[in-house]
């Protein structure tokens, strides 16, 4: 099935994925970034800043960004690494991952360049498959070490979700877990609340999280279910009003309708031996309900799937 590649006026080629039930997704070659995911009712499920800077080499605020080979500022590279502001290519030789019926997908690849070697002298191939099916968006990242010596990296899929009102949203599945608080010099704390709710800025990395996390939007009666494999941590971020005003590529009130919940590998770096490959898996789906607790087995939420 030929890919639908659109060249917009902003100069960023994008791949449009569609499937029979009517949902769609848009993936940029720039950054390998998903910038839209709409359900069958054409409702946008991802948040995109109305002040996003669509100009290289800036990262684009919103959607699902790839943070590689560094998460945040946990290293010597630029914030969240360089993968999100490089031009990726269509993968002409994708791995034969299992096909699925009524699924639309695209395979992208990013290879180490001379430019990147100056700041991160490692030889690698990063492959990303984005799959769209009814009610579901799946991302499969794979990193292969092409060096003759090991290397390590931290990683995240930075998921910016569209919500009705941040003060009406709760996250379940992270209770009782330890987290690093980036607003407190990465001090380590233990979550005491029954569920995470929002009344101010939050910037945390929850550790050793379950494979399934629920983001419940009471006002929209919609729950995002985030399932992930190979990314044991989960970053949670909302800038709130003061920080939003300080970010030039974020609208002053954008914080009210966004929530970032990332699939991440932060506490322990991923280490690859020569020619070894790491593979992750993330699945975002939506459930029409105002409450998702009954669908989450508490023992599995707290201790993960075995």
Q: Tell me the binding residues.
A: 61, 79, 84
| CB proximity list for 121: less than 8 A, separation 6 or greater | none
Distance, CA of 156 to CA of 7 (rounded, Å): 27
Distance, CA of 45 to CA of 38 (rounded, Å): 6
Cα atoms found within 13 Å of the Cα of residue 155, Cβ hemisphere only: 21
Distance, CA of 217 to CA of 256 (rounded, Å): 12
Known binding residues for substrate: 61, 79, 84
Helix (H, G, I), strand (E, B) or coil at 303: helix
- The C-alpha angle with vertex 137 and arms to 135 and 140, in degrees rounded to 5, equals 150
What's the helix, strand, coil split of the chain in %, to 5?
Answer: 10, 45, 45
Distance, CA of 260 to CA of 160 (rounded, Å): 4
């Amino acid at each position: 099935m030929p890919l639908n590649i659109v060249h917009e006026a902003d100069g960023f080629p994008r791949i449009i994925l569609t499937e029979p039930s009517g949902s769609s997704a848009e993936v940029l070659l720039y950054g390998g970034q998903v910038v839209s995911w709409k359900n069958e009712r054409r409702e946008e499920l991802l948040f995109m800043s109305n002040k996003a800077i669509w100009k290289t080499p800036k990262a684009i605020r919103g959607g699902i960004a790839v943070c590689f080979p560094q998460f945040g500022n946990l290293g010597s590279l630029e914030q969240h690494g360089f993968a999100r502001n490089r031009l990726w290519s269509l993968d002409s030789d994708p791995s034969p991952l299992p096909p699925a019926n009524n699924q639309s997908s695209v395979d992208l690849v990013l290879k180490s360049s001379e430019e990147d070697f100056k700041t991160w002298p490692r030889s690698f191939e990063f492959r990303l498959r984005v799959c769209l099916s009814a009610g579901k968006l799946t991302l499969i990242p794979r990193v292969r070490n092409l060096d003759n010596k090991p290397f390590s990296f931290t990683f995240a899929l930075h998921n910016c979700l569209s919500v009705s009102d941040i003060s009406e949203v709760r996250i379940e599945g992270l209770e009782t877990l330890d987290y690093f608080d980036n607003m407190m010099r990465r001090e380590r704390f233990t979550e005491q609340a029954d569920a995470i709710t929002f009344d101010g800025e939050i910037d945390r990395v929850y550790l050793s999280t379950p494979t399934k996390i629920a983001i419940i939007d009471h006002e929209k009666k919609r729950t995002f279910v985030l399932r992930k494999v190979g990314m044991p941590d989960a970053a949670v971020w909302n800038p709130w009003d003061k920080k939003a005003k300080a970010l030039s590529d974020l609208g002053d009130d954008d914080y009210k309708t966004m929530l970032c919940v990332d699939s991440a590998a932060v506490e322990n770096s991923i280490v690859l031996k020569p020619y070894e490959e790491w593979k992750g898996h993330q699945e975002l789906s939506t459930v029409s309900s105002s409450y998702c607790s009954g669908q989450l087995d508490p023992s599995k939420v707290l201790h993960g799937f075995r």
